[in-house]
Structure 1
Amino acid sequence: MTTTRSTEVPTKAAVPPATSTGPRVQSAVIKYGFIFVTVTLFTYFALSEPSFRDSATLLDTLRYVSVAAILGLGVTLTMAVGGMDMSVGAVAGLGVTVAAKTMVTYNQVGVVAILAVIAAGALAGLLNALLIVVLKIPDMLATLGTMFVIQGTKLILVDGQSITPGMTQSDGSTAPGKFTEGFLRIDRGTVLGVPVSVLIFGALTVVAWVFLARTRWGRVLYAIGANPEASRLAGIRVGAYRALAYVLSGVLASIGGLILASRIGQGDVSAGTSQLLEAVAVALVGTSVLGRGRPNVWGTALGAVLIGIITTGLTIKGLPYYTQDVVEGAVLILALVFSFTLSKRRTA
């Protein structure tokens, strides 16, 4: 009697592939980490300090960050083309000086001052574009040089003195003009209880987002920032688009200067000095929002809100200003960690 041996090879039961939650958690932290931090800080200050929950405090927070946020939008545009505008604070300060000079010294109306300030910002942007696009000077070095030139120019315009209504001028006469009521409403006025400067900040954020994310020009700016040589070979006028980014940055900085001039009500020669670091900070913080890893408008806006929450919350708690600087610096470092971690994962 013969027996046959089965040739079938027994199979093992199928084992479901192992899943690792580590990468998913890391991805979630990178993508939503800063939103979580913002919400957590807001909740903490709101629960621990009743005055923080007041609507007037929240609006004042947005009003406080509106200048840095608008300047940050300009920095975001230049970052999109792979550059960095370090002159935005100086341009905003120049705007304060030009506004005061126009209304107080030359006794012109607010509309003339607004046009003069925006023209000055556009000229500053053109100067940056000339240095960077035509003379091929690296972005950061060129805009740092422009920053010092603009700071010196505004001091020369006013003989190193702040401009105030009724001041005695260098020729011994009294300044004939003043800041008009309409101009002062740029920051001090409200519409339905919302400060005008906050509305300007919101409107410019939406316009900048549409421009960068929903138009061909914005997509081209991002393409140039990612690979300028490939963009050039594709027929894109790289120089023209980079110039556009810097001119727009100058215009946005001048709008921030208008708000600042309306806020302080005089031509303070030191105005705008502190705005550069805040503008750069909010733009860099914005790169880590939602794990984008690149400059984006909504990220910059959220970065500005986060800085405002920290500053207002710590002020209400009575912490000294140098503590606020440490916390803001720590937030910026954390944002950069998120951004560079994301960029490494994308290139891995």
Structure 2
Amino acid sequence: MNAAEPVREKKTFHLFDFLYKYGTLITILLLIAVFGTVTENFLNAANIINILRSISIVTIIAIGLTVSLAVGGFDLSVGSVASLANALVISMYVWHGHNFGLGIAVTILFCLVVGLINAFLVINFKIQDMLMTLATMFVFQGVALTYTRGATISQNMIMPNGDFAAGQIPKVFGKLGQVPWIIIIMLLIVVSVHLFLTYTKHGRYMYMIGGNPEAAKLSGIAVSRYRLTAYLISALFAAVGGIVLGARVMNAEVNAGGPYLMDAVAAAFIGYSVLGAGKPNAFGTFAGAVLIGILSNGLIMLSVPYYAMDIVKGSVLALALAITYYRRNH
């Protein structure tokens, strides 16, 4: 009896290891099978494209968050930065009449300044990343609300002086939020960041910093510079997410990027365990976003009330965190 116990423990370990590596992908396949069986249109090509379109903005924002996690950070301000980018890019066209390229360039430049502010505060004041970016999240959200005066920015809106806004949103800008461009932008970002983090020395340095910043510093790696770069990349992709959001809805709603934060965090942490990576990675984040997208889409098809969605998403995130940290500590 005693001799059999170690064998049983060994089998349990291997089973858990298998589930840790492939659990997310197996869950995705199971959900596809279940929803495809109980609903008529789930497996239609149009619905598959709809799922990919629906997760595009979340994935883009989550990829930026993933890069900040790679250096041991945690950028909670990405939702607010996306809101700010959404407001800025639409206002560049509607309020100021800028052309397609200039509107996007000004928006990205401003959001990179936001990334610099985050990095400066985190690196120089040595405050825990999550706490500092929680504070800046509210600041940037307030900046966006102040800039828009708490109103939706749209074509032909009434300005404070009573006149109608004369600027027009370029038609080419609107295409960025449509299929296939919104999906292509998402996939290009996922592939680019995956290659950067996995196959370049800079990506490996970021992982070293995230694993042990002191050891990385002793190895001659410019820790502060890489952390600055990570926060700039995080702000950049949050800006791209906000821009694509603006192109998709063709206006700027109040705090439009805020609801994407929870899904982005969930996608990034679910991605830790994909294929046993054990660390933030772009492919895993994409898989996490796909899992959330399939869940949301399938539950909507089953007529589950929208206000119950957060229960499911929160449960999935809790499970992902439990598996990730259990694996780390054993």
Structure-1-length-normalised TM-score:
0.90
Q: What amino acid is aligned across from residue 54 of structure 1 in structure 2?
A: N
Higher mean alpha-carbon deviation, 152-161 vs 103-112, is at 152-161
Instruction: Report how many residues are paired.
Output: 324
Question: Of residues 252, 263, 267 in structure 1, which corresponds to 2:252?
Answer: 267
Runs (5+) with no aligned partner, structure 2:
1-5
Equivalent residue, structure 2, for 1:224? 209
Aligned match of 1:338: 323
Of 233, 237, 261, which aligns to 1:252?
237
Shift of 1:54: 0.9
Q: In structure 1, what is the Cα distance between the partners aligned to 2:148 and 2:61?
A: 24
**Distance in 1 separating the partners of 2:41 and 2:115:** 41
Contact kept? 1:291, 1:342, Cα under 8 Å: no
User: Could you tell me which residue of structure 2 aligns to residue 32 of structure 1?
Assistant: 22
Amino acid corresponding to residue 264 of structure 1 in structure 2:
V
CA distance in 1, matches of 2:196, 2:32: 30
Distance in 1 between the 2:150 and 2:324 partners? Answer: 41
Which has more radius of gyration? Answer: 1
Distance 2:22 2:109 in 1: 40
What SS does the corresponding residue of 2:205 show, helix, strand or coil? Answer: helix
Distance 1:180 1:308 in 2: 29
Structure-1 residue corresponding to 2:143:
153
**Alpha-carbon distance in structure 2 between the residues aligned to 1:336 and 1:167:** 44
Q: Does 1:97 align with 2:87?
A: yes
* Alpha-carbon distance between aligned partners in 2 of 1:132 and 1:270, rounded to the nearest angstrom: 24
Partner of 1:71: 61
Partner of 2:288: 303
The Cα shift of 1:180 comes to: 1.2
Task: Mark the CA change 1:162 to 1:47 in structure 2 (over 3 Å): closer, same or farther.
Answer: same
Contact 1:97-1:267 at 8 Å conserved across structures = yes
Is the CA contact 1:93–1:271 (under 8 Å) kept in the aligned structure 2? Answer: yes
Which structure 1 residue ranges, 4+ long, deviate > 4 Å from structure 2?
A: 17-20
- Where structure 1 has 5 or more consecutive residues not aligned to the other structure, the ranges are 1-16
Deviations 1:273-310 (A, max 9, x none): 10111111100111121222211111100000000000
Q: Identity over aligned residues, as a percent?
A: 37
Is residue 313 from structure 1 mapped to residue 298 from structure 2 by the alignment? yes
Shift of 1:270: 2.5
- TM-score if structure 2 supplies the norm length? 0.95
Question: How far apart are the structure 1 equivalents of 2:269 and 2:7?
Answer: 37
Q: Which amino acid aligns with 1:328?
A: K
Letter in 1 for 2:305: P
Shift of 1:213: 0.4
Q: CA offset at residue 129 of structure 1? A: 0.6
CA distance in 1, matches of 2:144, 2:105: 17
CA RMSD, 1 decimal: 1.4
